[in-house]
């Protein structure tokens, strides 16, 4: 069967959008239009100047419909799965972005946060910024496959999100914001799933999360986690970055309360 070649790159791109596909690679354009790489590069450069497409990473392009031209990009949820497949890296949407998806979006995150298994520099597509954080266990952590406008994406479960918020507190805008998000996220957390995940994360993160949830009035939620803690031999750890001088650790979680947690709720 002979392949149909398109007259112009623009015609090919319009065909993709009509199919509900909002990303493509340069190699695809070359293959399916039959044009040279120089001709394709020239055409894509012109389309970028017009704001019709954006190039968040070399060789990977995102279509920008008219209704998104003011932002300069479609939402990250539309292309994150394809982008990570292009990178050939495992991933899941995490931290504040995952929390917002689960309904704990007291404040919408300024960047779209993604966990992956190796250092990856941020991606900028128009006004959309994708921040990557590293977790070597990204493929083992529990996730959900959620449907998007263009397909599916992997999103951290509420339990995975809770542990990540504690571990990557600075990326979550500090302990106060972590506490604010946890108050809302707690409604979606399953106590049994929290315990089943405890052995997969760092023990200090279990201690800090248990302490925070209890401090925030979610004591019933962490009863099974506290029982699991009794089988461990934890060292006392600080809650935050402050000094632990003259402080005694919490007897249940073995956490030094060296930082005040002020939530916005």
For 95-140, the pLDDT digits (tens) are 999 999 999 976 677 899 999 999 999 999 999 999 999 999 999 9
**1: confidence class by pLDDT, cuts 50, 70, 90:** very low
DSSP H/E element including 56: strand 53-57
Confidence of residue 172 (pLDDT cuts 50, 70, 90): very high
Q: Which residues contact 100 (CB under 8 A, 6 or more apart)?
A: 108, 109
> Residues of the chain with pLDDT > 90: what percent?
82
Indicate if the pLDDT at residue 27 is higher than 70.
yes
Residue-wise pLDDT tens digits, 50-97: 999 999 999 999 999 999 999 999 999 999 999 999 999 999 999 999
Q: Which two tokens stand for residue 139?
A: 């493929």
Please give the average per-residue pLDDT across 180-185, as a whole number.
96
Quick check: 76 and 68 in contact, CB under 8 A? no
Supply the pLDDT for residue 263. Answer: 85
What's the predicted TM-score (pTM) here?
0.92
Q: For the chain, where are the alpha helices, taking DSSP H only? A: 9-18, 26-33, 37-49, 80-87, 95-101, 158-167, 175-185, 191-198, 203-215, 223-229
Second CATH level (architecture) for the domain 9-68: Orthogonal Bundle (1.10)
**Where, residue-wise, is CATH 1.10.10.10 in the chain?**
9-68
Is the pLDDT assigned to residue 29 strictly greater than 60? yes
Percentage of residues in the chain having pLDDT higher than 70: 97
Number of helices (H), then strands (E), belonging to the chain: the values are 10, 11
Instruction: Look at residue 2 and tell me whether its pLDDT is greater than 50.
Output: no
């Amino acid at each position: 069967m002979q392949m149909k070649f398109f007259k112009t790159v623009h015609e090919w791109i319009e065909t993709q959008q009509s199919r509900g596909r909002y990303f493509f690679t340069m190699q695809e354009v070359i293959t399916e239009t039959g044009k040279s790489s120089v001709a394709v590069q020239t055409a894509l450069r012109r389309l970028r100047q017009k704001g019709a497409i954006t190039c968040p990473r070399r060789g990977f392009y995102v279509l920008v419909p008219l209704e998104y031209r003011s932002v300069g990009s479609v939402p990250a949820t539309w292309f994150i799965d394809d982008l990570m497949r292009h990178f050939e890296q495992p991933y899941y949407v995490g931290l504040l972005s995952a929390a917002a998806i689960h309904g704990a979006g007291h404040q919408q995150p300024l960047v779209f946060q993604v966990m992956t298994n190796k250092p990856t520099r941020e991606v900028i597509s128009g006004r959309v910024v994708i921040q990557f954080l590293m977790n070597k266990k990204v493929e083992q952590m529990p996730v959900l496959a959620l449907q998007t406008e263009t397909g599916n994406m992997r999103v951290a479960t509420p339990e995975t999100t809770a542990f990540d918020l504690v571990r990557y507190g600075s990326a979550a805008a500090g302990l106060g914001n972590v506490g604010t998000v946890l108050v809302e996220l707690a409604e979606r957390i399953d106590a049994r799933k929290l315990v089943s995940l405890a052995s997969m994360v760092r023990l200090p993160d279990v201690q800090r999360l248990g302490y925070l949830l209890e401090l925030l009035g979610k004591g019933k939620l962490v009863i099974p986690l506290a029982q699991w803690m009794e089988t461990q031999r934890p060292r006392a750890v600080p809650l935050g970055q402050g000094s632990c001088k003259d402080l005694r650790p919490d007897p249940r979680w073995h956490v030094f309360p060296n930082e005040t947690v002020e939530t916005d709720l």
